[in-house]
Amino acid sequence: MSQLENDRYLRALRRQPVDRTPIWIMRQAGRYLPEYREVRKQAGDFMTLCRTPELACEVTLQPLRRFDLDASIIFSDILTIPDAMGLGLYFVTGEGPKFERTIGSAADVAQLPIPDMHDTLGYVMDAIRLTRREINNKVPLIGFSGSPWTLACYMVEGGASKDFAKVKAMAFDAPELMYALLAKLATAVTDYLNAQIDAGAQALMLFDTWGGALSGEAYRAFSLRYMQQIIDGVKQRPANADVPITLFTKGGGQWLSHMADTGADALGLDWTTDIALARQLVGDRVALQGNMDPCLLYASPKRIEQEVQQILSGFGHGNGHVFNLGHGIHPTIDPEHVSALVEAVHQYSALYHQN
């Protein structure tokens, strides 16, 4: 296999020396870019964009053309698995994802199929293969999935939720039913990520968007346990030995030590967690990704530069830091402010990697 021109991101995840801190941005392909909005208009709707490999490839590449980023992430959605399970995913403007059918009983869980990764979800693998060819080894390509708990939240609630009442009621009042759902999702996610590696993904990210809605005990029982199963299921394949996995629980800063025990190579931090304290907590067990507040990109380039310096200083010298936002970039951000962010990381991070 050809060598990557830029492998800073993979080296940082492995806590190996780099010349500067690598940067990529969650949701870096998206609505803040006018060229994305043009392709989205061409597709007609969001899921058509996701399911058309040529279009998914194009929007994956768009931020790489604008910014000197150290990684790309395949354009897709965290809800592709429940959609492939037959729940009827659709999107409502201003409200986000919805499902035509929800999960509320043992019969519902029993009827859920494990999707065929090369049939029902083959469009994701086709997009990865095409994108790897088009990137031509310039930077690595990240594959991803939503965590079982996060997927279950949408599948039980029928969409986004403010209080997670339905899914928590199931977890607390019918835990065996919730365990059955999460176990099936863990199997599907493991298959999905393994298929993404086979298609060409060079790193993986597991997005546990709603893990932070749980208490500590419930997080370990209903979220972390199943992410552990997925990491084990990916890592046990000899061919996957060099594919690093980043685990990101939004609102999960208090559980970093438990998260590091999973065997993940890196942990994502949201902006509510101090990166210096996080590094003290996990030491050199894992790399850390993060963690600027996405709303700082509304500030002036000078203020963005100050924040970059503060986060770099917080992590300090040494290896194992991937610069990123603490969550996805907002759709109303000025792309020029993203340029300012990337340039600031380039300018100031080299100081932290000198011997």
CATH number at residue 130: 3.20.20.210
Q: Which amino acid is at 135?
A: I
The radius of gyration of the chain from alpha carbons, rounded to an integer in Å, stands at 19
- Give the model's pLDDT for residue 2: 62
In a domain, 254, yes or no: yes
Q: Which of 40, 51, 132, 279 is catalytic?
A: 40
The stretches in the chain having pLDDT less than 70 are 1-2, 355
Structure tokens at 169: 């009621």
Q: Which of 7, 70, 77, 126 is catalytic?
A: 77
What is d(CA 11, CA 22) in angstroms, rounded to the nearest whole number?
Answer: 9
> Please, which residues have CB within 8 angstroms of residue 291's CB and are 6 or more apart in sequence?
268, 269, 270, 271, 273, 275, 311, 324, 325, 326
Q: Which of 9, 32, 154, 219 is catalytic?
A: 154
Structure tokens at 305: 């530069």
In a domain, 1, yes or no: no
Is-catalytic flag, 27?
yes
- Give the model's pLDDT for residue 94: 77
- Give the model's pLDDT for residue 1: 46
What is d(CA 207, CA 249) in angstroms, rounded to the nearest whole number?
Answer: 7
Neighbouring C-beta atoms of residue 110, cutoff 10 Å? 9
* Structural domain that includes position 107: 8-353
Ramachandran assignment for 224, one of left (phi > 0), alpha (psi -120 to 50 degrees), beta (any other): alpha
Cα atoms in the 13 Å half-sphere on the side-chain side of 8: 21
Is-catalytic flag, 154?
yes
In a domain, 96, yes or no: yes
In a domain, 3, yes or no: no
Residue 70 annotated as part of some ligand binding site: no
Report whether 84 contacts 121 (CB < 8 A).
yes
Is-catalytic flag, 31?
yes
Structure tokens at 354: 């000198």
Residue 209 annotated as part of some ligand binding site: yes
Residue 278 annotated as part of some ligand binding site: no
In a domain, 19, yes or no: yes
Number of H helices, E strands in the chain: 16, 9
- Give the model's pLDDT for residue 354: 84
What does the pLDDT look like over 180-215, one tens digit per residue?
Answer: 999 999 999 999 999 999 999 999 999 999 999 999
> Which residue is associated with the tokens 């021109």?
5
Q: Which amino acid is at 270?
A: D
What does the pLDDT look like over 38-54, one tens digit per residue?
Answer: 999 999 999 999 999 99
Residue 220 annotated as part of some ligand binding site: no
In a domain, 2, yes or no: no
Residue 279 annotated as part of some ligand binding site: no
Report whether 195 contacts 128 (CB < 8 A).
no
Count the domains in the chain.
1
